Structure 1
Amino acid sequence: MSIKKTIQFYADLADGRGHELVSVSNTETPSQGTVTIFCKNCNNKFTTSAVSYQNARKTGCPNCKAKAVQEFWTGKSRTKSPEETAKQAVIIKHKQKLRKEKSLAYANLQGPEDLKQKLLSEPNPYNDFIVTHLDKPVVGKLTEGSTPLTLKGLEADEVGPLLGKAKLEKHHIIPLHAGGPDVPWNLIYLTPEDHIKAHELRALVYNEPGDRYAVRLRGNGTNLSERRLEANRLGDQTRFEQGTGIYAPGASAKGGRIGGAVKSHLKDLKHASKMTDVVSSALYEGSRWKHQKTGVVVTIKPQTVFTLPQLVDKLIEALPSCPDKDLLSQAQTTTITCNLARVIKKQRTSAYGWTLL
């Protein structure tokens, strides 16, 4: 729960920035209104939203910011010279050419099975390391288009280190700088420590600059997870104290709306895992539906529909203009899906004119 921001809070905040709080538009809930501030540095008044002023990275004064930007760019060009632009274009073109030439070595790889077979057929410390992690649950199996996330068969003390104590990072098995394809099946998720180790092993085996740069950039990988967690904790504490991020007014509601709007295959699989076996099997393995009044028959092919709302969309799309189509389009999704689920479980013979063949 976020801390309620009072008028005194904004007065203290302004004082600490060399400002003076003149007024607030919403005296009951200041954080939901605007604040008028007098800046003692530039002797100007400005009005902005309370949240914007609260979240400002520096002082929040637009006049001081504009002056600082102007001073920074004095005597400097904001655009690259024609010579610099031409030089950069040549470098980019050269890199693209090299990457394309290197990618020819992997043109025969068409999927995860081909990639794994290549790793097994060319044993070395790096390939052996990757193959070992490909077979681990959760780690290495989170990318879309690959094996879906599953925690079945894992004890609680096994899940914790994988998801709670370590932030997983993406790693291209065949790096892009080496001509590897930028596709989901060429990705694996590793802990920060394993990610560094992967680049170290690859640098030893292939001696490519890209891997050496990656190791040098990351530096000492010891206790990376612990340091990352500590940074996250401090950041969360700051957000809580300032009422920003997830603690900002209305952030939870906004996040919920965004989460519901974003679609993904992994999310579909997660929803499917919560269904009863009968409904999940009917969707995953395919089914045939017939509309009694119009005679329309819809065949759902295996592995094309994973959730009941997706099934509803298919049924609506197949129907010509009729009362049942209007009803399906206007009724609440939860009501429709519950009724269709009852048809699948044979608790009723039909719903909205649709029967399961």
Structure 2
Amino acid sequence: MQFKNIKTRKDLSMYLNKERNYYTQFLLNKMQQQNQTLKNLQKHHIIPKHWGGPDESWNIISLSVEDHAYAHKLLFENYNNYYDFCAASMLQGKTSEGLEALRKANQKKMQELGVGFYNSDLQRELAKRPKKQRQCYSRNSYVKAALERGFMLQDQKNSHIVIIQPFECKSLVDVIDKLMNQPHMIEERENWHQLQKKEKSYWITGLTRTLTGHICKKIGKCVFSFKGWRVLGIFIVDFDVEMVNESLILIEFFSNFS
């Protein structure tokens, strides 16, 4: 989308007519049918914010939840941006699909910006290090990075999601304490407080292995879950903050219904 010269709703309409695809046609129809008397309307940026669309009134339209989800679905189908697929999925209550889309969008963005795992300096350092299994110690740099950047965990039994915010927890013990304080973890919480230091280390080691991509010798694959909890993703870099925050709000909202 090339939209730098658009300053008014008329300019926008002319651009949408020129662009001419399923998304633009849908929005043109909705712009003509605007009905502010409807309830539960949501604001939608016609030129998406994650593409640089402004907060100007000419770029904002009120849509029902269903139409809002459909608009993002059409955006994804026409422009192939996974942030739109994420938004559409979340609005429809499809949390797992939304999280997967968010992961792909973040990965693509990191690759474009050359940051995180795709940082050229990091790649050079990784190429130099010995090809051996990285140890899962509590002060492992991957664990430290996860605590600093924040990450998401999901209980595989009931799909309940817990979000560890950046710098919220100083150690993995703090993370496990937060898990134990979840309403549905009553029995586990009682057992956790009664465990001896050595027994607690099993939980900490399990979480460490999950965060560091530890390869299990028995199955020869990376470990992605421990004690029924699965790591959905780590917030690698600070970009598209508003989109991530909106997604997290939707995740918390829909997790209340699981």
With the shorter chain as reference, the TM-score category is 0.3 to 0.5
What TM-score, normalized by structure 2, do the two folds share?
Answer: 0.34
Q: Tell which has more relative contact order, 1 or 2 (C-alpha 8 A, sep 6+).
A: 2
Give the TM-score taking structure 1 as reference length: 0.25
